[in-house]
């Protein structure tokens, strides 16, 4: 690790059970094993007060208007921005399971206006890379634990996938799309090689904001 170089903000996105958690854990473990400081995070971050409300909503013990839960997901990211920024500036790479794009994809899939959904995300730290694990939702339904939380229904995930595809085509070259049905080790190898190329490049670049 070169002194004075910032870490990278790396995001995993995709539908429920697409393998984001597995891949983000493998990536953090790989970086750490090479002596590169990296830490995992995930959104929603369920331990804060807002995170606890989000958890009650997702586990169906609480109902909230679509707009309200949307803004809570966004607030949950904003409340962790200083923590992320500090880690990046101290040279740690932050690997995050879901970010703003999940916020937009799930709420727009319910019928909320796409631009309205994106608006509260503007100003958050822009990721250096997004790894989008893409698969037809029907291929993911037999994975473990599918179906336990609010959004884990094939029909709804199909709509979420369409919004992710739109975001992926609009966001440009920092998005990397993968076939999530590929073996875990193959995906990990591809993701690792992109990450290893990325880290030295971003180290001296200033942080940008989502716009």
With contacts defined by CB under 6 A, name the span among 78-86, 99-107, 128-136, 168-176 that binds ligand TMP: 99-107
Residue number, 118 or 178, with CB nearest to ligand TMP:
118
Q: Which residue, among 180, 170, 153, 209, has the nearest Cα to 12 in the 3D structure?
A: 180
Judged by beta carbon, residue 36 or residue 94, the one nearer ligand TMP is: 94
Quick check: 13 binds ligand TMP (CB under 6 A)? no
Taking CB within 5 to 8 Å according to partner kind, which of Mg ion, ligand TMP, none is near residue 43?
A: ligand TMP
Report d(CA 105, CA 165) in Å as an integer.
9
Cis? peptide before 57, omega within 30° of 0? no
CB of 102 to Mg ion, least distance (A): 10
The site partner of 64 among Mg ion, ligand TMP, none (C-beta below 5 to 8 Å per kind) is: none
Number of residues that bind ligand TMP (CB under 6 A): 12
Structure tokens at 47: 């331990």
Of 106, 169, 179, nearest in space to 139 by CA = 179
80 binds ligand TMP (CB under 6 A): no
> Which two tokens mark 161?
């996938």
Question: CB under 8 Å, gap of 24 or more: what pairs does 147-151 form?
Answer: 149/16, 149/58, 149/59, 149/60, 150/57, 150/58, 150/59, 150/60, 151/16, 151/58, 151/106
User: Smaller CB distance to ligand TMP: residue 144 or 173?
Assistant: 144
State the maximum Cα–Cα separation within the chain, in Å, rounded to a whole number.
49
Tell me the closest approach of the beta carbon of residue 200 to Mg ion, in angstroms: 33
Looking at the Cβ atoms of 108 and 199, the one nearer to ligand TMP is: 108
**Binding of ligand TMP by 188 (CB under 6 A):** no
Residue numbers at the binding site for ligand TMP (CB under 6 A): 16, 43-44, 58, 73, 97-98, 102-103, 106, 149, 151
């Amino acid at each position: 690790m070169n002194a004075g170089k910032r870490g990278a903000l790396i995001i995993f996105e995709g539908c429920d059970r697409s393998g984001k958690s597995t891949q983000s854990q493998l990536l953090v473990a790989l970086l750490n094993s090479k002596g590169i400081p990296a830490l995992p995070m995930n959104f929603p971050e369920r331990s804060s007060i807002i995170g606890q409300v989000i958890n009650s909503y997702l586990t169906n013990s609480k109902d909230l208007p679509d707009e309200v839960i949307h803004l809570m997901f966004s607030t949950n990211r904003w409340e962790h921005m200083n923590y992320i920024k500090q880690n990046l500036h101290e040279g740690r790479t932050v690997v995050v399971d879901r970010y703003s794009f999940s916020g937009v994809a799930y709420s727009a899939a319910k019928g909320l206006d796409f631009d309205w959904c994106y608006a509260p995300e503007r100003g958050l730290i822009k990721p250096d890379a997004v790894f989008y694990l893409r698969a037809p939702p029907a291929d993911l339904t037999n994975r473990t634990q599918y179906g336990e939380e609010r959004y884990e229904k094939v029909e709804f995930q199909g709509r979420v996938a369409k919004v992710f595809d739109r975001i992926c085509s609009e966001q440009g070259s920092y998005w990397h799309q993968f076939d999530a049905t590929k073996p875990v080790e193959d995906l990990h190898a591809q993701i690792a090689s992109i990450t290893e190329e990325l880290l030295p490049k971003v180290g001296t670049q200033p942080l940008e904001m989502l716009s």
